[in-house]
Amino acid sequence: MAEVLFFHHVQGLTPGVVAFADRLRAAGHAVHSPDLYGGRVFPTIEEGLAFTDGPGAPDLAGLAAAAAADLPAELVYAGISAGAVLAQRLAQTRAGAAGAVLMESCLPVSGEWAIGPWPEGVPVQIHGMVDDGYFAGEGDIDAARELVEAAGPTAELFLYPGDEHLFEDSSLASYDAAATELLTARIVDFLGRVPGA
């Protein structure tokens, strides 16, 4: 059993995010899925971005760190889109990470925007749609390829046909059931291979 800290995307802790976390729980893993928005859920990505970028926006990095603080160091950090950014930051900066699952977002591991190098020996899986305007169109796919090359055999990048963002959220119009089934199987396999799982 892996212990997973799973962060929601920019629209909030939607029913589809909860359902996805439940899929991982059903596979036998302990999944913590904190609500970083205090109950707010937004119907569109744009409205979620307006909330996170607007006046009075929550300190998401601080809230994510607080969610991790009372949990063991040996976590798998996971997240969808904006949540993947939080997961990646913690995997790279909090000692003891057991792994990371980054869905539809990836930060560079070199250059001026990088947090730093990927921690040696920490396994990572990255997932995204090949024509997604956010993941592919904003450079995350290139950052993912760089991370996989830098991390070596413990890193995997999976690309899915299509152009949807947030395709694994069953409560949104962007949901792709077939891609989500494959995504889930790959993540469950990954979690089963995490040391100590």
Residue 163 above 70 pLDDT? yes
189, two tokens: 């396999």
0.85 cut: is pTM over it? yes
What is the rounded distance in angstroms from the CA atom of residue 18 to the CA atom of residue 120? 31
Q: What is the pLDDT of residues 114-151, one digit of tens each?
A: 888 999 999 999 999 999 999 999 999 999 999 999 99
Determine the pLDDT at residue 75: 97
Average pLDDT over residues 78-102: 97
Encode 14-34: b = buried (16+ Cβ within 10 Å), e = exposed. Answer: bebbeebbebbeebebebbbb
Measured at the CA of 18, the angle between CA 56 and CA 131, to 5 degrees, comes to: 80
CA 38 to chain centre: 19
Q: Any idea what the CATH number is for the domain that residue 156 is in? A: 3.40.50.1820
Return the SS3 of 90.
Answer: helix
Within 51-98, strands assigned E span: 76-80
Q: What percent of the chain has pLDDT over 90?
A: 91
Residue 110 above 90 pLDDT? no
Determine the pLDDT at residue 115: 86
Determine the pLDDT at residue 56: 85
Determine the pLDDT at residue 197: 63
Query: Containing domain of residue 119, as a range?
Result: 3-193
Average pLDDT over residues 159-174: 98
Residue 196 above 80 pLDDT? no
Can you list the pairs that 32-36 forms with residues at least 24 positions away whose Cβ atoms lie under 8 Å?
A: 32/3, 32/4, 32/5, 32/6, 32/67, 32/71, 33/6, 33/7, 33/8, 34/5, 34/7, 34/63, 34/64, 34/67, 35/8, 36/7, 36/8, 36/60, 36/63, 36/64, 36/67, 36/86
Determine the pLDDT at residue 116: 87
Q: What is the pLDDT of residues 24-53, one digit of tens each?
A: 999 999 999 999 999 999 999 999 999 999
Determine the pLDDT at residue 111: 83
Indicate the average pLDDT of the chain: 96
Q: How many domains does the chain have?
A: 1
